[in-house]
Amino acid sequence: MRFIPTRYHAPLDYIVGAVLIAAPWIFQFSDTGAATAVSIVLGVGLIAYSLFTNYELGVWKVAPMAVHNLIDIVAGALLAAGSDRDESQMPALGWLEQTRRGIFERHTLSMGAPRHATLDVGDFDADGDADIVVGVMSPDPKIRTWVEVWENQRKTVKR
């Protein structure tokens, strides 16, 4: 069974590889040496074995796709094994408020393991300001919530 055709899988590998290399700075965990090293090594590794994969964007096309997929599974398991950082102290949901043109203020709305698989913004309580709704995905059976709505309780200045 093939979930993602290789014509999409190949560009995704290079994009994900680049994101993994930059992730410690994008997601602000670069102060954690082990997590930073794992992310960079997996990103560089992903790009490296993609170059050797026999698919659309492979350069040396020596490794069959089955081997590539096996390495993907092992790399994913390594990444999912977690970091040495206490996840309860990590921001799980943040809001960047534009206070002036090009100037953003960061607000952390919740802490803990990131488990929000999706997010949307809308005026869910019809009071004229933006609220947030997030989808929740967690392997923890104690978490039974599928959707969380974050109602904007800040008084907005109407113009």
Among residues 66 and 147, whose Cβ is nearest to Ca ion?
147
Query: Residues 106 to 125: which contact Ca ion by CB under 5 A?
Result: 123, 125
Is the distance from CB of 135 to CB of 147 less than 8 angstroms? yes
Q: What gap in Å lies between CA 110 and CA 92, rounded to an integer?
A: 5
Q: Provide the b/e sequence for 81-92 (b: ≥16 CB within 10 Å).
A: eeeeeeeeebeb
Among residues 120 and 127, whose Cβ is nearest to Ca ion?
127
Single out the residue of 129, 133, 135, 148 in contact with Ca ion (rule: CB under 5 A): 129
Stretch that binds Ca ion, among 12-20, 56-64, 87-95, 151-159 (CB under 5 A): 151-159
- Min dist CB 145 to Ca ion, Å, is 20
Number of residues that bind Ca ion (CB under 5 A): 6
72 in contact with Ca ion (CB under 5 A): no
Among residues 87 and 151, whose Cβ is nearest to Ca ion?
151
Single out the residue of 8, 127, 143, 146 in contact with Ca ion (rule: CB under 5 A): 127
Among residues 110 and 152, whose Cβ is nearest to Ca ion?
152
- Note the residues at the interface with Ca ion (CB under 5 A): 123, 125, 127, 129, 131, 152
